[in-house]
């Protein structure tokens, strides 16, 4: 069992004292988990800094401080479409992402009154394409997402942003192995779901206890576990789901299994935060990438699954010359789905420079697997 992220929320990102405290808490939490048999893959800090960032240099100043403290993952927070400086901030994003090493960010496209921020969506689509052109192979889009109705204090990036009375701590687990264990050799999806609930609650209560020991010591609140199973490489959520299918992920029956797992996640007797849904990151899940190459999934089928479960469209490779208006339409489709069902969703698109649909990506990143560029 792996912990994907220990994430500390911070009120003032530009306070050196607060930064040091957040790094210290995350390291103590990591050591505590590792001493109790868990592998902790990353530690992260979330904030909400955009009102303090008038230009790129100000963000890069923060990036330098983060690097000096030995932190590798820092969220600037989200850009809300109804804020006065939203469009200006969105124009800064490509340069911030391309010139920094640790910084993540998101752009929220849904408004408090249930509308789509259409100007923000256009600027976000433009930023995605610019990041692709300004970073090696378009890899910078790993650190930027469009989000819709995402709650604060989400441990997973790039969607995470801080909103609280002070510091806090949240956990994002990996848990794809728990899904595989529960679904493998189960006679039907009902038995598999019951197994999954028991496994997740058993593991989750232990994780909560360990996290709360640290937060009590540090004097900060624990916001919960993002119960989303987070695949990575060969630890595949698609492979786990195929244990309950007669065929491959993306073929008939997939939606039924996805729905059953989602109901199980919703029923967990655990303090939860963030998405707490299924993730289908095409560039992070080896089997999902294979099914994409084989033509078992496309953008429409992934949107269908997002309508009842998970996190939206995540790490989707698209042609490098994808027009801004096509990217905009993908973003507004997901936003429409989020508004209709009142659920948190997000989009991470990877325009791959020089690529065409069907061509194999050639990313050289420990966080990504390679697959076919998807047709828009």
Query: pTM of the predicted model, to two decimals?
Result: 0.96
Nearest-angstrom CA–CA distance, 281 and 326 = 20
- CB distance 173 to 227 below 8 Å: yes
Q: What is the pLDDT of residue 14?
A: 97
Nearest-angstrom CA–CA distance, 85 and 66 = 25
Does the residue 160 lie in any domain? no
Answer yes or no: do 288 and 320 share one domain. Answer: yes
Q: What is the pLDDT of residue 63?
A: 98
Nearest-angstrom CA–CA distance, 99 and 97 = 6
The CATH number linked to 70 is: 3.20.70.20
Answer yes or no: do 313 and 180 share one domain. Answer: yes
Answer yes or no: do 12 and 79 share one domain. Answer: yes
Answer yes or no: do 330 and 185 share one domain. Answer: yes
Answer yes or no: do 135 and 176 share one domain. Answer: no
Answer yes or no: do 98 and 9 share one domain. Answer: yes
Phi/psi at 75 (nearest 5 deg)?
A: -100, 125
Does the residue 55 lie in any domain? yes
- CB distance 303 to 334 below 8 Å: yes
In this prediction, the residues of the chain whose per-residue pLDDT falls under 50 are none
Q: At which of 148, 182, 205 does a domain end?
A: 148
Q: In the structure encoding, which two tokens stand for residue 202, read together?
A: 């058993």
Q: What is the pLDDT of residue 86?
A: 97
Q: What is the pLDDT of residue 311?
A: 86
- Give the range of the structural domain holding residue 28, as residue numbers without chain letter: 2-148
Does the residue 166 lie in any domain? no
Nearest-angstrom CA–CA distance, 132 and 125 = 11
Q: What is the pLDDT of residue 297?
A: 97
Q: In the structure encoding, which two tokens stand for residue 121, read together?
A: 């969506």
Q: What is the pLDDT of residue 366?
A: 86
Nearest-angstrom CA–CA distance, 352 and 187 = 42
Answer yes or no: do 97 and 240 share one domain. Answer: no
Element housing 74 (H / E) = strand 74-79
Alpha helical stretches, state H, the chain:
16-35, 56-68, 86-99, 118-134, 176-183, 189-218, 237-242, 254-267, 286-293, 299-306, 324-341
Answer yes or no: do 34 and 136 share one domain. Answer: yes
Does the residue 372 lie in any domain? no
Answer yes or no: do 41 and 132 share one domain. Answer: yes
Answer yes or no: do 78 and 177 share one domain. Answer: no
Does the residue 103 lie in any domain? yes
Does the residue 202 lie in any domain? no
Answer yes or no: do 39 and 117 share one domain. Answer: yes
Answer yes or no: do 183 and 52 share one domain. Answer: no
CA dihedral 332, 338, 344, 347 (to 10 degrees): -20
- CB distance 277 to 314 below 8 Å: no
Does the residue 60 lie in any domain? yes
Does the residue 366 lie in any domain? no
DSSP state letters, 279-346 = --BTTTBHHHHHHHHTTS--HHHHHHHHTTSS-EEEEEEEETT--HHHHHHHHHHHHHHHHHHT--EE
Number of domains in the chain: 2
Q: What is the pLDDT of residue 335?
A: 97
pLDDT digits (tens, 9 = 90+) for 266-299: 999 999 999 999 999 999 999 999 999 999 999 9
């Amino acid at each position: 069992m792996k912990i994907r992220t220990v994430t500390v929320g911070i009120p003032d990102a530009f306070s050196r004292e607060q930064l040091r405290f957040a790094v210290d808490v995350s390291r103590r939490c990591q050591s505590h988990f590792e001493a109790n048999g868990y592998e902790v893959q990353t530690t992260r800090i979330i904030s909400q800094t955009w009102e303090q960032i008038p230009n790129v240099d100000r963000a890069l100043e923060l990036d330098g401080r983060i690097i000096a403290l030995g932190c590798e993952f820092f969220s600037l927070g989200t850009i809300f479409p109804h804020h006065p400086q939203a469009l200006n901030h969105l124009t800064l994003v490509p340069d911030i992402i391309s010139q920094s090493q640790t910084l993540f960010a998101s752009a929220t496209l849904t408004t408090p009154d249930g509308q789509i921020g259409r100007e923000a969506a256009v600027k976000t689509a433009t930023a995605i394409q610019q990041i692709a052109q300004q970073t090696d192979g378009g890899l910078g889009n790993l650190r930027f997402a469009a989000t819709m109705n995402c709650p604060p204090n989400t441990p997973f990036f790039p969607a995470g942003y801080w909103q609280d009375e002070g510091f806090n701590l949240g956990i994002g687990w990996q848990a794809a192995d728990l899904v595989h264990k529960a679904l493998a050799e189960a006679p039907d999806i009902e038995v598999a779901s019951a197994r999954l609930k028991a496994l997740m609650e058993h593991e989750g209560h232990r994780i909560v206890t360990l996290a709360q020991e640290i937060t009590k010591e540090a004097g900060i609140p624990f916001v919960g576990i993002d119960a989303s199973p987070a695949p990575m490489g060969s630890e595949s959520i698609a492979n786990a789901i195929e244990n309950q299918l007669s065929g491959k992920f993306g073929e008939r029956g997939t939606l039924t299994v996805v729905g059953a797992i989602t109901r199980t996640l919703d029923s967990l007797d655990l303090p939860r935060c963030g998405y707490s849904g299924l993730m289908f990151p095409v560039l992070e899940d080896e089997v999902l990438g294979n099914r994409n190459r084989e033509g078992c999934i496309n953008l429409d089928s992934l949107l269908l699954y997002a309508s009842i479960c998970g996190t939206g469209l995540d790490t989707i490779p698209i042609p490098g010359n994808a027009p801004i208006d096509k990217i905009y339409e993908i973003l507004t489709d997901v936003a429409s789905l989020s508004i209709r069902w009142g659920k948190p969703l997000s989009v991470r698109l990877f325009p791959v420079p020089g690529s065409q649909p069907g061509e194999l990506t050639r990313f050289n990143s420990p966080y990504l697997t390679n697959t076919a560029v998807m047709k828009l």
